[in-house]
Structure 1
Amino acid sequence: MNDATNLDKDAASMDPEQGLIAVRALRVLADRLEEVHVRNARTQGWSWQAIADVLKVSRQAVHQKHFRD
């Protein structure tokens, strides 16, 4: 993944390859942040429904994505 210094440059690039690289890096970052904050919310006692409501997805979707046996 690109570092933060290059990410803003890549995101603004007129080169489609660089732009798409930035999109992928942002998706990876967003997924990692979501995982951290869902885990934090569950540790603090949040229900799957409460998390889903904040993320604007179904309870089933968030549970399926983040539930670990």
Structure 2
Amino acid sequence: MTGTDTLLTAAGAAEPAEGLRAVRSLRTLADRLEALQVERARRQGWSWQQIADCLGVTRQAVHKKYGKTTGRVVP
């Protein structure tokens, strides 16, 4: 079982504290992966609109979130 599988199992736990901690960890992981892929897309010349379309948000929303961080290394 991978770490992600463990988190997914914990997120469905009957104990709310365990489940909520797992949800927080999954959210952190998803945020980091999103930032990584946005950075990759920008480095490959993607427009903010192309990225927004893939994420299902507006161009303005994705630019506001990542416009100033593009070029930084994702933690």
Whether the TM-score (by the shorter chain) exceeds 0.5 is yes
Alignment identity in percent? 54
Contiguous gaps of at least 5 residues in structure 1: none
Scaled by the length of structure 2, the TM-score of the pair is 0.81
Shift of 1:13: 1.2
Aligned CA-pair RMSD: 1.7
Paired position in structure 2 for 1:33: 33
TM-score (norm 1): 0.87
**Cα distance in 1 between the residues matched to 2:44 and 2:32:** 19
Structure 2: which 5+ residue stretches go unaligned?
70-75
Task: State the number of aligned residues.
Answer: 67
Moved over 3 A (4+): none
**Greater share of helix:** 1
